Amino acid sequence: MKKISVFIVVLCFTIFTLIGCSNPSSEANISGEEKDLKIQVVLKTLSHPYWKSVEAGAKKAGEDFGVNVEVIGPPSEADVIEQVSMIENAISQGVDALVVSPSQPTTVSNIFDLAKSANIPVLLIDTDADWKDKVTFIGTDNYSAGKEGGKYLASLLKKGDKVALVEGAKGNLATDERIKGAKEVLEKAGMNIVAQQPADSDKFKAAGVIDAVLQNHPDLAGVFAANDDMAIGALSATKQKKVNIPIVGVNGGEEATKLISEGKLAASVAQSPYDMGYMGVENAVKAIKGEKVEKRIPTPIKVVTKENAEEHLKEIQK
């Protein structure tokens, strides 16, 4: 009988120890209810490395906070209606929170009203919208990013030089703000803006835009593009024409950074897409739980040039 009692004591101690030692991970502190939470992240597209970085950050936050995260987006940033349909579907499915980067902010406000009616918190990342009931906006000040890019381009040129501006899709607030900031700085520095045309954040369309500009202005001295893909497209057009002029983009992605380190692109204003995705999900969890979330959460920017391109590339790959 005594042996049985000792065995029971030892068994109980072992079970207690195992339970006590099984709690080192963050997930162990998450209730079963939280594990069932579903956060839908709707991006402008998933066909670009920039948005892949946002997706990676969002999914890592899902793992860290023990919630279900699904990341979706249309084939291109110009597919505004398809993105709207994705948001509507998420609302009808009754997700617990929406994290959205709206392709056309003015178009989605009415859809966000449906989310509010369904008590679904909406957080915006990368691109803000004039919708008063959003939980927060997390992202770059795109106007400031444009100004920084314009300032760097102006430093490589002289007063009176001709410059082309390549816009994103019409109505894309993020790229519109970048163009606005760059244009203001360039004009103040005395540059002559000879073209300002949209290329829908597409390499091939941007190449076509710059090819046409060079036909009319063979003495073009510089290009500011509202994202890296369009900057790379502009580079393709200038190479075809055997024209060597500084081209500045925005995003600081891997492909653009490699081209900067090789001296082919002049610069890119780097954002923090991974952080946007991660912080979007992190703050969505807070909103669901009723915790306080700041109305504006800025993410850092920096100008990537040949001098710091290698260092930035390591950061991206890490």
How is 29-89 classified by DSSP, letter by letter? GS-HHHHT-EEEEE-S-SSSHHHHHHHHHHHHHHHHHT-EEEEE--SSTT-HHHHHHHHHH
Burial 130-141 (b: 16+ CB within 10 A, else e): ebeebbbbbbbb
Average pLDDT, integer, range 201-218: 97
Structure confidence at residue 171 as a pLDDT band (50, 70, 90)? confident
User: Can you tell me the distance from the alpha carbon of 244 to that of 241, in angstroms, rounded to the nearest whole number?
Assistant: 9
Report the share of the chain in percent with pLDDT over 90: 80
- What are 136's strand-pairing partners? 123
CATH fold match for the domains 33-139+273-297 and 142-270: yes
Write down the pLDDT at residue 138.
97
Confidence of residue 60 (pLDDT cuts 50, 70, 90): very high
pLDDT of residue 185: 98
Classified by CATH at the fold level, domain 33-139+273-297 comes out as: Rossmann fold (3.40.50)
Q: What confidence score (pLDDT) does residue 78 get?
A: 87
Average pLDDT, rounded, for the chain? 89
Whether 18 shows a pLDDT value over 50: the answer reads no
pLDDT digit string (tens) for 210-251? 999 999 999 999 999 999 999 999 999 999 999 999 999 999
Determine the Cα–Cα distance for residues 87 and 137; give it in Å rounded to an integer. Answer: 17
- Options 3.30.70.1400, 3.40.50.2300, 3.40.1160.10, 3.40.50.9100; CATH of 142-270: 3.40.50.2300
* 208 C-beta neighbours (distance < 10 Å), count: 16
Q: Where are the domains of the chain?
A: 33-139+273-297, 142-270
Contact 277, 55 (CB under 8 A): yes
Selected residue with higher pLDDT from 202 and 26: 202
How much is the pLDDT for 34?
61
Amino acid 18 reads L
Whether the pLDDT of residue 29 is over 80: the answer is no
Residue 109 or 239, more confident: 239
Radius of gyration of the chain (CA): 24
Q: Please state whether 231 falls in left (phi above 0), alpha (psi between -120 and 50) or beta.
A: alpha
